[in-house]
């Protein structure tokens, strides 16, 4: 039930294939790709070309988290590049229901991303069409930020309405894993608490052990 996705944002990009092999050997369930465009968030990361490279060496599924101003324009490119799940921030999609359908029609699972200051109630009409929800516990833009405990209210709110996967993204570590899991998050997206540690297998074990208590 509990899944751990390693966010490659904190990987050593000069050795990306080795880094992917290392976290796969540590038994992560997938690789999370943080896509940032310098408009929706004040940072620029990676595009479909990097995803294609990562997908060519990965043995676990990839998911894209689109932190970009025009997710509808690029979602298809990330699916073509090899991700099997795509989530986007619905407030910047002119027609979020159409984008959820489009992602599914292209053969991927479709997710909705919730910011710490998002109004979950205003999004709930979209939930029946989503395969998963990703709740941010930091403001999107950078890895290594401090976990925002009040954002757990959003995890609880979504869990009350949504029975499928809830991913929690931002500041998830052995110190926060238990509260995330108890709030209803069953997929942990983790960058620094995995890639920031030398022994990735120990890092993943520590996350699972902390979550399950």
Q: Report, as residue numbers or ranges, the catalytic residues.
A: 34, 169
β-pair type (132-136, 109-114)? parallel
9 binds ligand DX5 (CB under 6 A): yes
Q: Which does 109 bind (CB under 5 to 8 A by kind): Zn ion, ligand DX5, none?
A: none
Region of 6-14, 78-86, 88-96, 102-110 interacting with ligand DX5 (CB under 6 A): 6-14
CA distances from 50 to 21, 53, 150, 157, 200 (A): 16, 5, 34, 34, 22
Residues of this chain that bind Zn ion (CB under 5 A): 34, 65, 169
Residue recorded with tokens 């990009």: 13
**Coil, helix or strand at residue 87:** strand
192 binds ligand DX5 (CB under 6 A): yes
Concatenate the DSSP letters of all residues of 143-208 into one string.
SSPPP-GGGHHHHHHHHHH--SEEEEESS-STTTHHHHHHHT--EEEESHHHHTSS-HHHHHHHHH
55 binds ligand DX5 (CB under 6 A): no
20, 46, 87, 189: which one contacts ligand DX5 (CB under 6 A)? 189
Q: Which does 171 bind (CB under 5 to 8 A by kind): ligand DX5, Zn ion, none?
A: ligand DX5
CA-angle at 140, arms to 122 and 180, nearest 5°: 75
Residue recorded with tokens 């039930």: 1
CB-nearer residue toward Zn ion: 6 or 105: 6
Q: Which does 82 bind (CB under 5 to 8 A by kind): Zn ion, ligand DX5, none?
A: none
Backbone φ, ψ for residue 161 (5° rounding): -115, -15
| Residues touching ligand DX5, count (CB under 6 A) | 22
Which residues neighbour 203 within 8 Å (Cβ) at sequence distance 6 or greater? Answer: 26, 193, 194, 197
CB-nearer residue toward Zn ion: 46 or 179: 46
140 binds ligand DX5 (CB under 6 A): yes
Structure tokens at 99: 């984008």
- Shortest distance, CB of residue 170 to Zn ion, whole angstroms? 7
Region of 51-59, 82-90, 133-141, 179-187 interacting with ligand DX5 (CB under 6 A): 133-141
Q: Which residues form the interface with ligand DX5 (CB under 6 A)?
A: 7, 9-10, 32, 34, 65, 138, 140-145, 169-172, 189-193
């Amino acid at each position: 039930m509990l899944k751990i996705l390693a966010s490659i944002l904190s990987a050593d990009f000069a050795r990306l294939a080795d880094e992917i092999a290392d976290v796969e050997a540590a038994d992560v369930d997938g690789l999370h790709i943080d896509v940032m465009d310098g408009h929706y968030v004040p940072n620029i990361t990676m595009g479909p070309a990097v995803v294609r490279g990562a997908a060519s060496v990965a043995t676990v599924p990839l998911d894209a988290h689109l932190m970009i101003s025009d997710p509808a324009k690029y979602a298809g490119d990330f699916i073509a590049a090899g991700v099997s799940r795509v989530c986007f921030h619905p407030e910047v999609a002119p027609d979020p229901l159409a984008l959820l359908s489009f992602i599914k029609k292209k053969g991927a699972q479709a997710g909705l991303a919730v910011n710490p200051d998002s109004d979950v109630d205003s999004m709930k009409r979209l939930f029946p069409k989503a395969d998963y929800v990703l709740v941010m516990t930091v403001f999107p833009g950078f890895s290594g930020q401090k976990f925002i405990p009040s954002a757990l209210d959003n995890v609880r709110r979504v869990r009350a309405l949504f029975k499928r996967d809830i991913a929690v993204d931002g500041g998830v570590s052995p110190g926060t894993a238990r509260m995330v899991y108890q709030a209803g998050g069953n997929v942990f997206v983790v960058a620094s608490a995995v890639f920031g540690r030398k022994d990735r297998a120990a890092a993943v074990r520590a996350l699972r052990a902390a979550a399950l208590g």
